[in-house]
Amino acid sequence: MGQLVNGRWRSQKRDTGKTGGEYVREAAQLRNWITTDGSPGASGEGGFVAEAGRYHLYVSLACPWAHRTLILRTLKGLEPYIDISVVSPFMREHGWTFNTEEGSSGDPLYHSDYLYQLYLRNRDDYTGRVSVPLLWDKQRTCVVNNESSEIVRMFNSAFDHLTGNHEDFYPEELRGDIDATNAVVYETVNNGVYRAGFATSQKAYEQAYEALFCTLDQLEQRLHNNRYLTGDRITEADWRLFTTLIRFDAVYHGHFKCNKQRLADYKNLWGFTRELYQWPGVAETVNFFHIKHHYYDSHRNINPTGIVPRGPELDYAAPHGRG
């Protein structure tokens, strides 16, 4: 665990002292957009034209934020256009590594040992967190973006003219509903499990826990009436929820103390999770070895022995019954 400060790697513990034991996630800093014609996107600079083979995506298979980008890459048929590298599941004093003996694919572009070296290649005096996903431009040798919600949006449309895949996971007419759903799901579920797990005061933990299960109850009801979160059509909002749900019983329930009930105890959320898991191409993006070993081994402040639980035994491939 650590971060870059003025271009130097500093190994340090997460500091929740100033926030009363509450975990506060820092905003991502590198926010350029790939666009069809290279015009600037919603933030950052222009010049990042959608082209085959130009961009590289660095991910962790453990990370729910990186997982969103991997799923959109699959659903939008971007595999031949954007290649990927996977970091080791074990995040220790040097942060994410490319240790191939531990399950990383290595860094084929620069043979880096650590992910922070890519952040320094982009900017040698960088100060900030060194996180995945990281979208890299091989042509300009710089980072395009390190914010998953924006990478997902780029993948949804910027390459359509090349791939011929026009499936839209952020359709115009549903944007209001998708944005509103994302806001609640981000705050109380996606980031909510981290706020519960990384809290260092009882109060902060309980607040996160209550908010999380309150939202899960509401979503359970919503999925009773609708097949997907915003109706009968699957959207970005569903995929953003899915990456947390698929990790829920394996990690968040135990490791992050989100244990009011298991996901498998919710009829609709559990069926929904299985349906999305079984979506063509999606199961291949889910890696429970990386998921379980990352959390239980890397967060030694929460799990000092690093022992990774064997269970739970759940069948994500069982019929989902959502038809």
Ligand X SMILES: N[C@@H](CCC(=O)N[C@@H](CS)C(=O)NCC(=O)O)C(=O)O
Residues that bind ligand X (CB under 6 A): 3, 28, 60, 63, 65, 95, 129-133, 146-149
8 A C-beta contact, residue 288 and residue 247: no
Contacts made by residues 225-228, CB under 8 angstroms, sequence distance 24+: 227/322, 228/272
Nearest residue (CB) to ligand X, 148 versus 182: 148
Catalytic residue (one of 55, 63, 205, 258): 63
Nearest residue (CB) to ligand X, 55 versus 270: 55
- Smallest distance, Å, CB 176 to ligand X? 22
- Smallest distance, Å, CB 315 to ligand X? 26
- Smallest distance, Å, CB 299 to ligand X? 11
- Smallest distance, Å, CB 323 to ligand X? 32
Nearest residue (CB) to ligand X, 144 versus 223: 144
Distance of CA 279 to the CA centre of its chain: 18
- To the query of whether residue 258 is one of the catalytic residues in this protein, the response is no
Q: Is the backbone of residue 62 left (phi > 0), alpha (psi -120 to 50) or beta? A: alpha
Nearest residue (CB) to ligand X, 133 versus 197: 133
Q: Quote the CA–CA distance of 22 and 251 in Å, as a whole number.
A: 20
Residue with tokens 């996971």: 169
Please count the CA atoms within 13 angstroms of the CA of 88 that sit on its side-chain side. 19
Q: Quote the CA–CA distance of 193 and 155 in Å, as a whole number.
A: 26
Nearest residue (CB) to ligand X, 59 versus 282: 59
- To the query of whether residue 63 is one of the catalytic residues in this protein, the response is yes
Alpha-helical (H) ranges within 132-287 are 148-157, 160-163, 175-185, 192-197, 202-225, 236-247, 267-277
- Smallest distance, Å, CB 282 to ligand X? 18
Using only C-alpha atoms, the chain has a radius of gyration, in whole angstroms, of 19
Active-site residues, by number, are: 63, 194
